[in-house]
């Protein structure tokens, strides 16, 4: 065994994969999940696609590839709602985003819930656009169908919660007074009951690392 082999065996496996994932090309996801998280190339923005067949929406095995993102233009914001530039550290279990007001994070709380960790003891949040409907024209008219439902919650003190109808969906802005271990969670499901608890971010990170 060489000295290089010895050094590698002393490094935790997850650490070997830090910054080996370029999420502008390869999505961040979790075992058993159908949610795919990407970064928009050259921008401090994320978007989320659904990697699943929705047979009554679009036929075909690869239809989801052509489907627009379910959530797009997801940005981290400060107390005034100003978007924050970030430097990302990627890993197979968690994404970290360094900004001028502190570090955000993203991890799978479970296969249907994304948890976005907030900088400790500050006021911050997220803003994004969601497209819950799929619209298309037919030879004799058009159709509007539901894609998936979205519920969001947080475990910090809510400062601002705004849902603005847009031409192609809704823009949601959620700003929170974060504590030591706060997060905003996004629950994407076909279920109508979207109530869920937002776990402390460190707990979600620990569970993801153990999966």
Nearest to 38 by CA among 72, 61, 5, 4: 72
Domain count, the chain: 1
- Residue 42 pLDDT: 96
27/206 Cα distance (integer angstroms): 21
Q: Which residue, among 75, 17, 22, 71, has the nearest Cα to 208 in the 3D structure?
A: 17
Closest CA to 189 of 133, 149, 131: 149
Map tokens 């994969």 to a residue: 17
* pLDDT score at 133: 73
Tokens linked to 57: 């929406």
Q: How far is CA 113 from the centre of its chain?
A: 9
Q: What is the pLDDT of residue 8?
A: 43
Domain span at 95: 3-210
Phi and psi dihedrals of 170, rounded to 5? -140, 140
In the chain, what's the furthest Cα-to-Cα distance? 70
pLDDT band at 14 (very low <50, low <70, confident <90, very high): low
pTM: 0.85
Distance CA 138, CA 110 (A): 37
pLDDT at 5: 46
> Given a cut of 70, is residue 58 above it in pLDDT?
no
Q: Are the beta carbons of 134 and 64 closer than 8 angstroms?
A: no
End-to-end alpha-carbon separation of the chain, Å? 29
CB 181 within 8 A of CB 202: yes
pLDDT of res. 33: 92
Condensed to tens digits (0 to 9), the pLDDT of residues 170-209 reads 999 999 999 999 999 999 998 999 999 999 999 999 999 8
CATH number (domain holding residue 97): 2.70.98
Residue 159's closest CA among 148, 173, 143? 173
pLDDT confidence band for 146 (50 / 70 / 90): confident
Fill in the DSSP letter of residue 140. T
Which position has the higher pLDDT, 31 or 20? Answer: 31
pLDDT tens-digit profile of 104-131?
999 999 999 999 999 999 999 999 999 8
| Band of residue 16 on the pLDDT scale cut at 50, 70, 90 | low
Q: For residue 54, what pLDDT is reported?
A: 56
Predicted local distance difference test score (pLDDT) of residue 57: 57
Residue 138 has a pLDDT of 67
């Amino acid at each position: 065994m060489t000295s290089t082999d010895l050094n590698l065996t002393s490094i935790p496996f997850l650490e070997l994969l830090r910054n080996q994932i370029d999420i502008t090309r390869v999505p961040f996801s979790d075992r058993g999940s159908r949610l795919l998280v990407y970064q928009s190339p050259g921008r401090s923005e994320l978007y989320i696609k659904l990697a699943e067949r929705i047979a009554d929406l679009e036929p075909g095995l690869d239809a989801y590839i052509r489907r627009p993102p379910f959530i797009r233009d997801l940005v981290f914001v400060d107390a005034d709602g100003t978007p924050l530039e970030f430097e990302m550290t990627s890993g197979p279990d968690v994404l970290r985003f360094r900004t001028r007001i502190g570090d955000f994070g993203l991890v799978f709380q479970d296969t249907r819930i994304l948890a976005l960790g907030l900088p400790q003891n500050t006021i911050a949040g997220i803003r994004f656009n969601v497209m819950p409907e799929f619209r298309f024209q037919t030879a004799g008219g058009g159709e509007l169908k539901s894609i998936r439902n979205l519920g969001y919650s947080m475990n910090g003190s809510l400062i601002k919660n705004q849902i603005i109808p847009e031409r192609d969906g809704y823009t949601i802005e959620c700003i929170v007074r974060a504590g030591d271990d706060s997060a905003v969670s996004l629950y994407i499901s076909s279920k109508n009951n979207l109530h869920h608890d937002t776990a402390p971010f460190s707990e979600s990170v620990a569970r993801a690392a153990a999966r």
